[in-house]
Structure 1
Amino acid sequence: MKKIIILLSCVVIIFLGILAYKQYQRFITPKLVQVNGIQYVLTEGETDDNAIDKKLGVINKVVDRYSYLNNDFESNFLPIGSSLYSSKEEPGEQIIYQYDGRLYEANQLQQKNK
């Protein structure tokens, strides 16, 4: 009986470890969107209508969270139909996205040189 309890306890501990690891991976994977061949990291920094220059388009494809973005207007987080705008403040370096009825900033992803 003790062996069964120990075995079940080990299985539960391993299962909880796997769940914790998946949550950690989800937390560290950046939320991205691609526009004009440039990838942007979605931030939680809110902005307002005054920062919008013009509408760039809408998200037309959502990819798996761990997949690479290959085409413009793809995201691994934003739902299809989410609007994307250029920014007056930092054109090219920053865009604005709409999520859940609010506007947020997204910053250009800085690629490391290999």
Structure 2
Amino acid sequence: MSLFYQDILNLTPGYRPSFSGPPGAWLYDGSGRPVLHLSTTSTGSNRMHQHLDHIAFRTNNVEEVVKQLDSKKIEYEVYEVPEVDLIQIFFRDPEGGRLEVSATKASQ
């Protein structure tokens, strides 16, 4: 899973504290901020029952994201939201998680 986010969103693996829970990875953005925390999940009574609709990221280069998705043959949908001057790209990670990458039209 970590490689997907590194490949598509250009996140880089970095320091993750030694937690007592399940193993995982922290991925960092270009500014050195840990923006995505991944971990293995448990089944049975330890399983979380909450629903996450999607994770949203911002970019200044929608075309580059589309190019990455096309090169990996990942299906996506593009939406324009004129009232807030936004372009949104929605796609799924290998586990089915829904992702959004968006940018203002002015930044394009």
Query: Looking at both structures, which has the greater relative contact order when contacts are Cα pairs under 8 Å and sequence separation is at least 6?
Result: 1
TM-score in terms of structure 2 length? 0.30
TM-score in terms of structure 1 length? 0.29
Answer with 1 or 2: which has the greater Rg: 1
